[in-house]
Amino acid sequence: MVEASEEVYSSLQRRFKGDLLRPGESGYEDARIIWNGMVARRPGLIARCADVVDVQNAVRAGSEIGILAAVRCGGHSLSGFSTCDGGIVIDLSRMRQVTVDPEACHAMIAGGCLLGSIDTATQKAGLVFPSGVVSHTGASGLILG
């Protein structure tokens, strides 16, 4: 699995705008931790995406090599689905943009949005996002889970 994560890293490093974190590098230990402290996995690579193109590139690179992948929005999965051992974590935590259109009464959210940031943006427009009650839960994981 180490070879696979190194292969994915090599494939991504030239075209990736976000951060690519490997074990032993600065920021890796903090980036691998999720909300449920009982789940302590060690991914071979954490791809902290800057935008949708980074997500597409990470998914393609991982798929081509056949490496285990996990996607992290807020890292709030009780069972630890937002991380993995040895594989690649596609981390959306840098992608937290919320755009609200009060006229149309809708909002668009980026993949890494937390419920609290959506609530803040929608409430300013007099709207509500019916969801969970824990503000640091990732919206995408909650919606898709």
Name the residue among 64, 54, 76 with its Cα closest to residue 132.
76
Distance CA 36, CA 26 (A): 22
Q: Which residue has the tokens 């609530």?
A: 119
The answer to whether the CB of 44 falls within 8 A of the CB of 4 is yes
Q: How many CA atoms lie within 13 A of 119 on its CB side?
A: 13
Question: Which residues form the domain of 112?
Answer: 98-144
Give every CB contact of residue 55 below 8 A, 6+ residues apart in sequence. 49, 90, 92, 95, 111
pLDDT digits (tens, 9 = 90+) for 43-68: 999 999 999 999 999 999 999 999 99
**Looking at residue 17, what is its pLDDT?**
97
Pairing mode, strands 45-48 and 19-21: antiparallel
Mean pLDDT of the 86-108 span: 96
Averaged confidence pLDDT in the chain: 93
41 and 22 within one domain: yes
pLDDT digits (tens, 9 = 90+) for 100-117: 999 999 999 999 999 999
Name the residue among 71, 72, 73, 68 with its Cα closest to residue 86.
68
**Looking at residue 1, what is its pLDDT?**
60
Distance of CA 62 to the CA centre of its chain: 15
46 and 104 within one domain: no
Q: Which residue has the tokens 């302590």?
A: 40
Percentage of residues in the chain with pLDDT exceeding 70? 99
84 and 135 within one domain: no
Domain endpoint, select from 50, 76, 91: 91
Residues paired with 91 in a beta bridge: 48, 72
| pLDDT above 90: residue 134 | no
Total count of domains within the chain: 2
60 and 34 within one domain: yes
* Total-model pTM: 0.91
